[in-house]
Homo-oligomer: A and B are copies of this chain.
């Protein structure tokens, strides 16, 4: 952990990593919209110009936070899937983990969905998401040999997990363990219900 004394200088520390940490901290308090390079600099006790030695602009720093978010998501959530034996249960666990992760690391979730980052300008973000997507799609495909159905099911599962997070944040119940567990369980059960009736996702589809 780099030094962060308010008045101190910052020679030869890992400012890049410290800036990412500071960004997460600020986003946690003020939201993505409330984050600024200047505020991050202030918290680290460095000049407002210092971050520009590591990030070309504000969006590049946020993109680095997004990459960090996907890496952490993969490390925290995906391993838990292997404790289950069926693809359906694994996907339910992924949905549960998705909600738990977002609740535990709200700033990371916000960067992914509210930072308004141009993915074309920051391809490293999608690259970081690839490992997660692979694990996800492997499970989905194990449930249906049909390519079209796999796509529809994947879309429905992703939308539902995301929606449960938004609903949880919107309900403003705070980060209480009980409320998080309830939201995560709801997401997992909704995933199982979608899987159970997945045949309805493609009938008559244009």
Q: Which residues of A contact B (CB under 8 A)?
A: 31-33, 113-114, 116, 119, 152, 155-156, 158-164, 166-167, 170, 172, 181-182, 185-187, 189-190, 192-194, 196-198, 200-203, 205-206
Contact = CB atoms under 8 A, between A and B. Distances in A.
A152 B182 CA distance: 10
Given A33-B33, A200-B196, A206-B185, A160 B190 contact: yes
A68 B197 CA distance: 37
A185 B205 contact: yes
- Give the interface SS of chain A, mostly helix, strand, loop or mixed: helix
Copies in the complex: 2
A44 B140 CA distance: 51
A165 to B, nearest CB: 8
Nearest to A200: B193
Contacts of A32: 33
B201 A193 contact: yes
A162 B156 contact: no
B193 A198 contact: yes
Nearest to A158: B167
A190 B192 CA distance: 12
A113 B163 CA distance: 11
A186 B116 contact: no
22 contacts: A33-B33, A33-B116, A113-B170, A152-B189, A155-B186, A159-B163, A159-B166, A159-B186, A159-B190, A160-B190, A161-B163, A162-B162, A163-B164, A163-B166, A166-B166, A189-B202, A190-B194, A192-B200, A193-B193, A193-B194, A193-B196, A196-B196
